Chains A and B, each alone.
Chain A
């Protein structure tokens, strides 16, 4: 049972444009969500989080939107940079984190 789904395994975006990474979940008990970024052969690094009582959280170029009625969240990166090329995982949290399968973002010049 995949409680957190990232249906797009990959995304390619031109430098300077917006990257939108999507995540769907089924567990209505999640009370917070996080996005992690991962480079090959390294551990994930925390990017941004959002509480389930919020619908938006912004940190610099990164904004996370939460639509609880649709059980959907998205990560917007504006403007996208080549250094953003990585795998992005969303995760839903209760007493533990449940991770999605990841989306590989490639930002090209």
Chain B
């Protein structure tokens, strides 16, 4: 059945290490997004991609990098430059550009803890 998968559900890393979070979708969606959620805060946009081989920075892109080599995949790398990487990371996809008729479907999330 169609959906968005994120793996792993929980991830632990030592400070100073880069880590890559996986996001795969089989919904044939063009657009994909990465959000970060912290306690007491809404979802904040890190990066988004509306088409393969193209992506744009969101509101909090510093310390993160992405790639979009395939339509189905949009991995997020949390680099050592990200000052506060511990958070819940959510990947989403939508048929096209954000609009009220193009709802975003979310994956189950990855909780990253940096020790």
- Using a CB–CB cutoff of 8 Å, the interface residues on chain A facing chain B are 4, 6, 9, 31-34, 36, 41-46, 49-51, 89, 91, 93-102
Contact = CB atoms under 8 A, between A and B. Distances in A.
Interface of B: 4, 6, 9, 35, 40-45, 48, 58, 90-92, 97-101, 103-109, 111
Given A34-B103, A96-B48, A97-B98, A43 B42 contact: no
Contact of B100 (A4, A42, A93, A101): A93
Given A43-B106, A43-B108, A89 B100 contact: no
Given A45-B106, A51-B100, A96 B58 contact: yes
B90 A43 contact: yes
Specify the main secondary structure of chain A where it touches its partner: strand
Given A6-B42, A43-B6, A93-B99, 6 more contacts: A31-B100, A41-B108, A42-B109, A46-B105, A91-B43, A101-B40
B113 to A, nearest CB: 14
Given A42-B109, A44-B90, A93-B98, A101 B42 contact: yes
27 contacts: A32-B99, A36-B106, A41-B9, A41-B108, A41-B109, A42-B109, A43-B90, A43-B107, A44-B43, A44-B106, A45-B106, A49-B100, A49-B103, A91-B42, A93-B98, A95-B97, A95-B98, A96-B48, A97-B43, A98-B42, A99-B42, A99-B43, A99-B44, A101-B40, A101-B41, A101-B42, A102-B42
A32 B100 contact: yes
B42 A100 contact: yes
A97 B45 contact: yes
Contacts of B9: 41
